[in-house]
Structure 1
Amino acid sequence: MKRQSPPRSKILLVDDEPDLLSGLKRSFAKRLPDMEVLTATGGREALDILVQQEVDLVLMDIMMGEMDGLEVLDHIHSNDPDQTVILMTGYGTIELAVDAIRRGAWDFVTKPLELDNLTRILHKGLERSKLLNENKKLRSRIYPDGILADFVGQGTLMQKLYKAIKTSANSEYTVLIRGASGTGKELCARAVHTLSRRSKGPFVMVNCPTIPGELLESELFGYRKGAFTGADRDHDGLFFKANGGTICLDEIGDIPVNVQTKLLRVLQEQEIKQLGADTSTKIDVRIIASTNADLESKISEGAFREDLFYRLEVLTLRMPSLHEIPEDIPLLADHFLKKVQIELGINEKRFSGSALKKLCDHHWPGNIRELQNVIRRAALFFPGPVINGDHLMIDSPITSPGSEINREPEMDIIPYKEAKETCIDSFTRQYVHTLLKKSNGNISEAARLSFLTRAALQKIMRRYAISAEKFRK
């Protein structure tokens, strides 16, 4: 029986310069013979291709006429946050690169393109996509209904949450997601949408506090041309964008009372009236709201409408804080460590027993987001295959949530600047010692591992009087 060859990886090239597209396609045919190369001459064409078929990597220009690359990137990641996207531009600035990475680009290259370097980046990007796809397939085999595709916890509280998400998704009722900051409320909202009959419709996430109060109404409900000074065109608003799908109003407890009044009408009548419009327009949108605020206290203070609260609280999902699910911390830590390895392209690492104990003992006021950041720092700053307890830059453990006694060792108070410099000195010495031990005193290898130049590393070693000789075997 003839063995089937594995499917070819697909790369999508997006640029509004046809000559560049054809040139890159010819180059990749020679340099990446096992890849299938697709092309698109604009953002909308690229989005159409991504709807029709799976692509392993997108290489896209930023400066395009119809839709720029950053706008296309936002559309791509609203549907698939894991899609590997590399942006290219002839206008390379630090600010543009930072904005591109912040918005989800995996990497950033400047024109004129250096093909050897670009080929290396593409290989790394394709390897990232391969690892992510393998992880998704594994998780889909373990959890065939897909509900846990992005969740990790398996404890009792999380199992109850999964059942509640499934039940909520089967209805059209409004959902209120409550929980502390960093517990995964957005992930929960996306799961409800994905499992609902609206899954093929848009999912619009609105971070309410980031939109100034005076602009929130017009952003949510839209406006007509001439409604106010500067309104030189019609603007649909976010509710119109979510029509046929779901809108999630994140941190709803922070929206102004006048916007709460209009939102109440949307919930009651399923219609909106845009600023400057004479009539209301019917919409078909499911509303999910989330908050870390004590809405009951806000109601008693007059900062939140009681009738809106009861309209929102038809179905309530509560996200547990991390200290409530300590049995899931090792699973979460391992999950985030694997993600960091993919993000950074580094060799496999694992936690020691002391590291896992320290993670489980910590109270985690920042919840899952804090845990993820701690693991990112440890994986980035400490080379080597094992992450130990002293590699985890977290405070001393608090033995019980809400404990009135913080059992930290007593210490003399010294000036802040002096204390900070002492911590930095201690961290730097430990880091360089670990680095040189790993590289057996080879300064060039140590510089490569730390992403420092050889000269910069030698300068640090001179400052702290650290010699590489004693680390050489």
Structure 2
Amino acid sequence: MTDPAHEPTILIVDDDATEREQTRRIFRSEAYDIVDVGSGVEALGIIESRDVAVLLTDLKMPEMDGQELLRHAKEARPELQVIVVTGFGSVEGAVDAMQAGAGDFLQKPLDIQTTRARVRKAVEKHELERQNVALREQVDSVYGLENMIGASLAMQEVFRKIRRVAPTNATVLLLGESGTGKELAARAVHNLSPRARARFLPFNCAAVTRELVESELFGYNRGAFTGASRDKPGYFEEANGGTLLLDEIGEMTMDAQAKLLRVLEEREIMRVGGTRAIPIDVRILASTNRELEEAVRDGTFREDLYHRIKVFPIDIPPLRDRREDLPLLAEHHLMKAAEEHGVPPKPLGVSAMEAFRRYDWPGNIRELRNLMSFLVLSVEGAVITEADLPDSLRNGSTAKRPELVEVGRSMDDIEREAILRTLKATDGNKTKAAEMLGIGLRTLYRKLDRYGEDVSDEPPETNDDD
């Protein structure tokens, strides 16, 4: 909603004075500050000096036509909403204008009700974008770092570590549950580094089959295997000069781990089927939601590689451990969702925020972000209340207390019970159990095999865990 003390400015541009006057009359009963000019040059001067909400411009004008005005106006004010006006039967120019950034178009003669409705919608969108810009500036200046948000001590410590390590070339290991924002943290490290102008490439080690990990990372030469009809550079070559994030590195096969270790030590790669070493200059970041020390003990992760990537570890806290950030995060993602879906934002009521604080957020920031999209699309009332929240959040909102375990019980026994109870709760669905436990599916199969449980069904070749 617009501020009632501030009348949005509507700028009408047409070289025909009669057309301008007729357009002004359409808005006589509307609470707008109407300005009209006869040329694109005059319009651009006003746009650069005033906060114009909506530009309503004719396409065909001498000196500077509507298309050129649109381009310059959007460069000067990206949040400016532009509606182009075209003569009857000349829609082609309007389509070109919309591809260049115009939000809507109208045909002459202007219909009063249609014009008012389109402009009203454009004003709302402009106000929403202004609020978002202001919010982002406020959040970034006080609480944020490269799209990461948090006023809590835990997040301020994360920001401090990122700022400290980003200017260096050190390998960083990002640790945290699924959905906590490990990739955002990796992008922040890259964007604050001397490599910021080069590429940042994330590679999900858990989402690629064992057979393809090496060819995707290191590339391959023509004829290396069936189907290799051409030379193909891998992620390391594509990221040369920049940063490569190895997401869910704990799911990498032992063979791939050995090759990665050589890359870290020698700073060169060998394509699958290749005979020539290719030097690379890539900063390596890694992330995982697994306990890598445990994987080292299990023999599923190389100890030497673990020490090479754990040069500078950063723990990203789960949302339940930073509940004081919830109001800031909820407001930020609510505004982003409203902007993305093109709807006016609605405030969060006290009851909704209280429910947020009681909830444990197993899906962390990702779950909160998806919830905000659901709410901006589904809530019909003026304020978002607890009644608008999904049943799963309202009914399961009380933060769960951790169950006590017997003192002196071994960690292996505790882990085994947790895995088997989770598997029982999912009716034997191993994929779902792995997601709930925050471990990779292949890791779950290895542990079940070690416990002597049935693993006759082969794990799927791909895994989408974060």
What TM-score does the superposition give when structure 1 sets the normalisation length?
0.60
Whether 1:275 aligns to 2:272 is yes
Alignment of 1:150-189 (within 5 A): 150-189=147-186
Q: Which residue identity is paired with 2:163?
A: K
Q: Which has the higher contact order (CA 8 A, sep 6+)?
A: 2
Distance of aligned partners of 1:262 and 1:336 in 2 relative to their CA distance in 1, 3 Å threshold: same
* Structure 2 residue corresponding to 1:367, chosen from 350, 353, 364: 364
Deviation at 1:174, TM superposition (A): 0.3
Matches of 1:132 and 1:149 in 2, distance apart?
19
Alignment of 1:283-322 (within 5 A): 283-322=280-319
Whether 1:341 aligns to 2:338 is yes
Deviation at 1:330, TM superposition (A): 1.2
Deviation at 1:5, TM superposition (A): 2.8
Matches of 1:277 and 1:315 in 2, distance apart?
33
Root mean square deviation, CA, Å: 4.1
Deviation at 1:195, TM superposition (A): 0.3
Deviation at 1:183, TM superposition (A): 0.3
Task: Give the number of equivalent residue pairs.
Answer: 327
Q: Which residue of 1 aligns with 2:384?
A: 387
Distance of aligned partners of 1:365 and 1:122 in 2 relative to their CA distance in 1, 3 Å threshold: farther
Whether 1:252 aligns to 2:287 is no
Matches of 2:191 and 2:325 in 1, distance apart?
24
Matches of 2:118 and 2:300 in 1, distance apart?
51
Runs (5+) with no aligned partner, structure 1: 9-24, 39-51, 58-85, 89-105, 107-112, 406-473
Deviation at 1:348, TM superposition (A): 2.6
Matches of 2:278 and 2:76 in 1, distance apart?
35
Q: Secondary structure at the match of 2:71?
A: strand
Matches of 1:26 and 1:233 in 2, distance apart?
51
Cα pair 1:323 1:401 within 8 Å, conserved: no
| Structure possessing the higher radius of gyration over alpha carbons | 2
Q: Which residue of 1 aligns with 2:47?
A: 6
Deviation at 1:129, TM superposition (A): 8.7
Q: Which residue of 2 aligns with 1:399?
A: 399
Cα pair 1:260 1:305 within 8 Å, conserved: yes
Q: Which digits, 9 at most, give the CA deviation of each residue in 1:242-275, with x for residues without a partner?
A: 0000000111111111111100111111110111
Alignment of 1:163-242 (within 5 A): 163-242=160-239
Cα pair 1:348 1:385 within 8 Å, conserved: no
Superposition misfits of 4+ residues, deviation over 6 angstroms: 29-33, 52-57, 113-116, 119-130
Deviation at 1:279, TM superposition (A): 2.0
Q: Which residue of 2 aligns with 1:101?
A: none
Matches of 1:262 and 1:125 in 2, distance apart?
55
Q: Which digits, 9 at most, give the CA deviation of each residue in 1:328-375, with x for residues without a partner?
A: 111111111111211222223011111110000101111111122222
Distance of aligned partners of 1:7 and 1:269 in 2 relative to their CA distance in 1, 3 Å threshold: farther
What TM-score does the superposition give when structure 2 sets the normalisation length?
0.61
Runs (5+) with no aligned partner, structure 2: 1-41, 50-58, 81-97, 109-114, 406-466
Matches of 2:228 and 2:118 in 1, distance apart?
44
Identity %: 39
Deviation at 1:401, TM superposition (A): 4.6
Matches of 2:280 and 2:77 in 1, distance apart?
31
Matches of 2:180 and 2:217 in 1, distance apart?
25
Q: Which digits, 9 at most, give the CA deviation of each residue in 1:370-397, with x for residues without a partner?
A: 1222222222222122011121111422
